[in-house]
Structure 1
Amino acid sequence: MKKTLILALAFLAMLTACTQDDLTFEEPTSNSEAINSEISEDQSGEIITINNFKGEPIEFIKRSDNAYQVDDMVFTNEQFLQIQEMYSGNRSVAISNTSRRWPDFTVRYAIASNFNNPSRVYAAIQSIESQIDCINFIEINCTSPESVSWKDSNSKTPVIIGSNPCETQDYIKFISGSGSVSSSSVGRIGGKQFIQISNAASTGTVIHEIGHALGLFHEQQRSDRNNHLIYNPQNAQTGSGGNFVIPTNQVSVGPFDFNSIMLYSSYTFSNGNGPVLTKLDGSTYTVQRNAFTSGDVAILEDIHNDPTIPIANTSRTLIDYETSPDTQYFEHRYFVHFNLNQSPYTLPSSKVVHYSITTETSNIGGVPNNTQISVQYYTKALSPGQSTYTLHDVITTDKIFDFGQPSGLQYERWLDIEESCSEYYIQ
């Protein structure tokens, strides 16, 4: 089941700001975190205001590097001009679902030599790679020296010193943010792009900012936001209204996700008079900054997966093979189904599938919580000409239940197929 996030492929229509993400006036719970490190306290530059379709102002800061920033989201001059044209009524602009994605879901990155605590970046990348099978982060090492400094103590615009042979590649450069600011470009913009991370930011903040670079906006800007949240503009800081605008053009998938790492908390951008966002019953909520949710992962896979590659789904059928007075024999039959554009996909050529079957044996020695897990690995060649294949048959012995309580060893099994990102995706 997929939930949605707003994507970079629709960013020209969105333009709401990102983040004071977890700025809160309440005690954070164990799975939430006050991330003041994402707040820019003194961003410098010319303020340019654009009214959206509802007449609500969106304030951009034009930086000295000719980029435009709204909180932790950074847009190129070209992107800003397209946004300006769209809201002026000249035309409606939308980006295709491939234009801002990272080709082959491969993201190259480098970490500045003076970056504080780079373990946060490595931990964030490890978390994302553990959740998304087909994403691939590659750290690149530029041979020429490069350093980052700041123009002055009041500037948030980095000044790059030295040459960089990596300029011919599309990649992310992690640099330390000045003060409390963390920010990221939205989607792949071409060439080098920055993710600025405050020294005080957590690994969760790094994941959040990488989410922007991969193409995600914020959950509260979905078209169905008002079916789940109440927006209280009288409690929002002056000039922050653009952060809560619902754009007319966006891409979203699945149900609203209160656990998304991209969601604002109730008190983000609050002026101190109360929550800016509440649930429909008026209650407030906190947000998590631990990891992507399954919905975050689903939308990232949707925009980065190659639409010409089929999707593999698995299923299992339990067959009562033989029954005696005290024993039941079950056959666990596992299948794989290939689909493309929600229709069965017939394999045009042979395909080798690697898979495993995990068995959890419980009630060992008559103790219900005494369990043991074992994994067996297999390889099977599938002949062309079908869309559904039987992968494996397993005969197991299951004891009959006595008054709902197992009287012998009990088994649970499940199948896992190794994803082959160039040949099929797993769903």
Structure 2
Amino acid sequence: MKTKNLINLVKVTALGLGLFITSCSNENFEELPPETSETPELIEKYFRGGLVEVEDLKNGMFKWGDIYFTEEQLQDEKTDFGPVEPGSGIDAKLGLASGVRKWPNNTIIYVLDNSLTSNQRQVTFDSMEEWTSKTNIKFKERTSENYYVTIRNSGRQCNCASASLGVQGTRGTINMGVRTGIGVMTHEIGHTLGYLHEQNRSDRNQYVQIFPENIQDGAISQFRVDNNSVNPGTFDVESIMIYSSFTFSKNGQPVMLELDGSRIPFRSRLSAGDIAGTNQLYPAGDGGGGGGGGTDICAGVEEWVRGRQYNVGDKVTYQGFLYERDFTRWNRIGECETTTPTPADICEGIAAYSRNRSYSPGDQVTYAGYLFELQNNRRWSNLGRCGS
């Protein structure tokens, strides 16, 4: 698979709702009024080892531009998010080390809230079509799944939206403005897939120039460089996940231009790099199997090698199990050389993880589409993907 312009979607930072975006019919953006008459108080947290300024929503969630973080995705102290080996444990506070999580089986599970207007529903379906017609991403309306994203009407009279980052159990959400267009909604689905912003990639200064003097107060962290981002491809100025030249401008002057001085419009469709990047991060046929078919899910999959560079979506075998690389960890898919039938769903009858409960060694929970068991060392062991 080509890697040119890959992972324009694995972007870092949050899309500014200070100056927002466009529908697919034009390249205009509108200045978004604050949700209240008061400027929200911002606090510093660490995300993947870098400082960000976020608004504490007082419900275990934090807002960073158009991205919602859970408290497990942020830290009060700098944390090393360097390479990890398959089978690495997770602290007893499940999710602390999980960072950003992929959707299992390439499928976003969603709930349409009753607050949505008929137009918002149509925009949502059209944006889903943009992803399904060009990438390996699928969508499924929730039946009984214990992880999903709820799509709601924020009630704001704007072409704007905000979304949770990656799988967040039952707390995932996309909040749509009344006039949200396809371009904005397509962008927010990118965040739900786990993608951040293009202009914060570590290679961005080779392609664009940032003008800090024009950036709104409190928004400078929206333009930080993330040296831990997953960037196997080159920077993509046409990505659906890039800011426009005026997003977060405080004075009507550009905050970002291409090196030749060209302005960057907000994009309303997936770029070629977006498509290639998504299809590497979410490979075709990614239902947990390996590369060789037959009864052994590990057939054709190479053993993990210490020190080798792996990208999101890569599969390896390790100590008799098949693993898949997530954004910040490895997920165990299943046991190699499977010769006996497995239950229809290993997560059946297992309750979802609750951060308000106390767990003992041996307890099992489901979290973000996987089954976990708490070990005696107070670390959770990933037992495999739900549905297998």
TM-score, scaled relative to structure 1 = 0.56
Q: Deviations over 1:171-199 (max 9, x none)?
A: 11110113245100111122241100101
Instruction: Return 5+ residue gaps in structure 1 as ranges.
Output: 142-165, 312-338, 343-427
Bigger radius of gyration among the two:
1
Give yes or no for contact 2:246–2:253 (8 Å, CA) kept in 1: yes
Q: Are 1:170 and 2:163 an aligned pair?
A: no
Kindly report which structure 2 residues correspond to 1:96-111, keeping only aligned pairs within 5 A, or say none. 100-111=101-112
SS of the aligned residue for 2:63 comes to strand
Kindly report which structure 2 residues correspond to 1:291-306, keeping only aligned pairs within 5 A, or say none. 291-305=269-283, 306=286
The amino acid of 1:171's aligned partner reads Y
Which residue in the other structure is 1:17 paired with? 14
SS of the aligned residue for 1:131 comes to coil
Q: Deviations over 1:330-364 (max 9, x none)?
A: xxxxxxxxx9779xxxxxxxxxxxxxxxxxxxxxx
Which residue in the other structure is 2:113 paired with? 112
Q: Are 1:131 and 2:134 an aligned pair?
A: yes
Give yes or no for contact 2:19–2:249 (8 Å, CA) kept in 1: no
Change in CA separation of 1:253 and 1:34 when aligned onto 2, cut-off 3 Å: farther
Give yes or no for contact 2:149–2:171 (8 Å, CA) kept in 1: yes
The amino acid of 1:18's aligned partner reads L
Which residue in the other structure is 1:34 paired with? 28
Change in CA separation of 1:287 and 1:301 when aligned onto 2, cut-off 3 Å: same
Displacement of 1:59 in angstroms is 1.9
Displacement of 1:99 in angstroms is 6.4
Kindly report which structure 2 residues correspond to 1:27-426, keeping only aligned pairs within 5 A, or say none. 32-36=26-30, 39=32, 41-42=34-35, 46-50=41-45, 58-81=52-75, 84-86=76-78, 91-92=80-81, 100-116=101-117, 117=119, 118-132=121-135, 134-140=136-142, 169-179=146-156, 180=158, 181-272=160-251, 274-289=253-268, 291-305=269-283, 306=286, 309-310=290-291
Displacement of 1:4 in angstroms is 3.4
SS of the aligned residue for 2:235 comes to coil
Displacement of 1:128 in angstroms is 1.1
Give yes or no for contact 2:246–2:256 (8 Å, CA) kept in 1: yes
Displacement of 1:35 in angstroms is 4.1
Instruction: Return 5+ residue gaps in structure 2 as ranges.
Output: 87-97, 293-299, 303-309, 311-388
Q: More strand per residue: 1 or 2?
A: 1
Q: More helix per residue: 1 or 2?
A: 1
Give the whole-Å Cα distance in 1 for the aligned partners of 2:279 and 2:225.
23
Displacement of 1:247 in angstroms is 1.2
Change in CA separation of 1:54 and 1:75 when aligned onto 2, cut-off 3 Å: closer
Give yes or no for contact 1:264–1:287 (8 Å, CA) kept in 2: yes
Displacement of 1:20 in angstroms is 3.6
The amino acid of 1:297's aligned partner reads I
Displacement of 1:91 in angstroms is 3.6
SS of the aligned residue for 1:206 comes to helix
Aligned length: 275
Give yes or no for contact 2:67–2:191 (8 Å, CA) kept in 1: yes
Give yes or no for contact 1:21–1:263 (8 Å, CA) kept in 2: no
Displacement of 1:277 in angstroms is 0.5
Give the whole-Å Cα distance in 1 for the aligned partners of 2:24 and 2:163.
26
Change in CA separation of 1:292 and 1:68 when aligned onto 2, cut-off 3 Å: same
Give yes or no for contact 2:110–2:150 (8 Å, CA) kept in 1: yes
Give the whole-Å Cα distance in 2 for the aligned partners of 1:249 and 1:232.
23
Change in CA separation of 1:54 and 1:104 when aligned onto 2, cut-off 3 Å: closer
- Identical positions, percent: 28
Change in CA separation of 1:268 and 1:113 when aligned onto 2, cut-off 3 Å: same
Give the whole-Å Cα distance in 2 for the aligned partners of 1:62 and 1:75.
10
Displacement of 1:100 in angstroms is 0.7
SS of the aligned residue for 1:137 comes to strand
SS of the aligned residue for 1:257 comes to coil
Displacement of 1:30 in angstroms is 8.5
CA root-mean-square deviation:
3.6
Displacement of 1:204 in angstroms is 1.5
SS of the aligned residue for 1:251 comes to coil
Give the whole-Å Cα distance in 1 for the aligned partners of 2:255 and 2:282.
33
Give the whole-Å Cα distance in 2 for the aligned partners of 1:53 and 1:253.
18
TM-score, scaled relative to structure 2 = 0.62
Q: Deviations over 1:296-337 (max 9, x none)?
A: 1222222222496449xxxxxxxxxxxxxxxxxxxxxxxxxx
Give the whole-Å Cα distance in 2 for the aligned partners of 1:190 and 1:246.
28
Displacement of 1:51 in angstroms is 7.8
SS of the aligned residue for 2:109 comes to strand
